[in-house]
């Protein structure tokens, strides 16, 4: 049984077309189709059924995929472990992180780490809170950077830093001349928020509830940069991280106001699967993140001087 065929089976089972999977494997589409047919003969069951133009897993295929995922994961981890024995300063760090961390924290951590270990490679994934937990449980990432403790019995979480949250308002907003504001003063404003399922959306709703109101949603987005752009355009206000990449620019004329009636902050932490031995290079990166993340966050955007 060819590992490349198993990877192609995995890709098609995860939603890729046979043509796409064949291109990744540098095969022709007919050649991969024949290989998948031979795989079904070896397994002794039909693994896919065609639904329209799409291949879907059969019940036997779903059972088989669970074992293929485990097999390939152990194989890849074995190769990484051997590579790190041969060259301890090399290897791969598999890291998943919140979308909002991809514009400043993750680049700073990776850059600092690769200055000491330039041969290390990174496998990076972005996702929301729930997706990050799945990355750990499905073994598609060794570490995740997320907000707050996932609260899962199989996951260990450590705080990296506390990230301030400010009320972002358009430059010509009625509150824009202030440095501090009660969140309750924005109760009648349309809120530009992330879609349900994102941690920042849940935190926004929680803080508004603490301030005595439910936010009136003006727009739901998937990226914090989109939220900033729409606030700058005057379409509403938003609770946004005061990260170093959030400075106002001519394209983003925003004012950031400190909150006085609620705790405007969120914990950012790193997590890994309890009981799983991290590869040596990943453990080095974890130590690096715990040691340096707070310093990377020292420059944050805050209220402009009066």
3-state secondary structure 1-33: CCHHHHHHHHHHHCCCCHHHHHHHHCCCHHHHH
Domains recognised in the chain with CATH numbers: 3-83 (1.10.10.10), 88-160+267-296 (3.40.190.10), 163-265 (3.40.190.10)
- For residue 231, what pLDDT is reported? 94
- For residue 139, what pLDDT is reported? 81
Whether 136 has a pLDDT exceeding 80, the answer reads: yes
The 3-state DSSP composition of the chain as helix, strand, coil percent (nearest 5) reads 40, 25, 30
Whether 83 has a pLDDT exceeding 80, the answer reads: no
Percent of the chain with pLDDT over 70: 90
Whether 278 has a pLDDT exceeding 90, the answer reads: no
Summarize the confidence of residues 58-67 as an average pLDDT.
91
Summarize the confidence of residues 123-141 as an average pLDDT.
86
Confidence bin at 186 (pLDDT 50/70/90): very high
- Range with the lowest mean pLDDT among 42-56, 101-115, 210-224, 289-303? 289-303
- Range with the lowest mean pLDDT among 64-73, 83-92, 151-160? 83-92
CA distances from residue 81 to 21, 280, 288 in whole angstroms, order as listed: 27, 8, 20
> CA–CA separation, 9 vs 35, rounded Å?
9
Summarize the confidence of residues 290-306 as an average pLDDT.
64
Summarize the confidence of residues 100-126 as an average pLDDT.
90
Whether 251 has a pLDDT exceeding 60, the answer reads: yes
Summarize the confidence of residues 129-147 as an average pLDDT.
88
Confidence bin at 244 (pLDDT 50/70/90): low
Question: Does residue 223 contact residue 103 with C-beta atoms inside 8 Å?
Answer: no
Whether 38 has a pLDDT exceeding 50, the answer reads: yes
**Can you say how many angstroms the Cα of residue 28 is from the centroid of all Cα atoms in its chain?**
34
> CA–CA separation, 135 vs 269, rounded Å?
15
> CA–CA separation, 58 vs 62, rounded Å?
6
pTM to 2 decimals? 0.69
Whether 302 has a pLDDT exceeding 60, the answer reads: no
- For residue 3, what pLDDT is reported? 87
The pLDDT tens digits for 199-225 are: 889 999 999 999 999 999 999 998 888
Report which DSSP code applies to 47.
-
- For residue 286, what pLDDT is reported? 95
């Amino acid at each position: 049984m060819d590992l490349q065929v198993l990877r192609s089976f995995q890709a098609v089972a995860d939603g890729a077309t046979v043509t796409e999977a064949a291109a990744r494997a540098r095969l022709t589409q007919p050649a991969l189709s024949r290989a998948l047919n031979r795989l079904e003969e070896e397994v002794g069951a039909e693994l896919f059924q065609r639904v329209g133009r799409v291949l879907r897993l059969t019940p036997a295929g779903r059972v088989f995929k669970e074992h293929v995922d485990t097999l390939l994961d152990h194989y890849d981890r074995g190769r990484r472990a051997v590579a790190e024995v041969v060259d301890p300063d090399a290897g791969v760090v598999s890291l998943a992180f919140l979308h909002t961390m991809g514009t400043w924290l993750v680049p700073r951590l990776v850059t600092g780490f690769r200055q000491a270990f330039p041969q290390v490679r990174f496998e990076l994934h972005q996702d929301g809170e729930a997706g990050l937990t799945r990355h750990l449980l499905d073994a598609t990432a060794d570490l995740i950077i997320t907000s707050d403790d996932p609260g899962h019995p199989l996951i260990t979480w450590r705080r990296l830093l506390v990230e301030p949250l400010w009320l972002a308002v358009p430059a010509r907003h009625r509150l824009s001349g202030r440095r501090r504001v009660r969140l309750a003063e924005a109760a009648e404003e349309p809120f530009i928020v992330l879609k349900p399922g994102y941690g920042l959306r849940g935190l926004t709703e929680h803080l508004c509830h603490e301030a005595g109101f439910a936010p009136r949603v003006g727009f739901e987005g998937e990226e914090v940069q989109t939220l900033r752009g729409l606030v700058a355009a005057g379409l509403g206000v938003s609770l946004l991280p005061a990260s170093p990449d959030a400075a106002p620019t001519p394209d983003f004329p925003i004012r950031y106001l400190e909150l006085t009636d609620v705790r405007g902050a969120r914990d950012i932490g790193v997590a890994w699967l309890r009981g799983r031995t991290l590869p040596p290079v990943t453990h080095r990166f974890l130590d690096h993140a715990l040691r340096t993340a707070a310093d990377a966050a020292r420059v944050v955007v805050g209220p402009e001087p009066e």
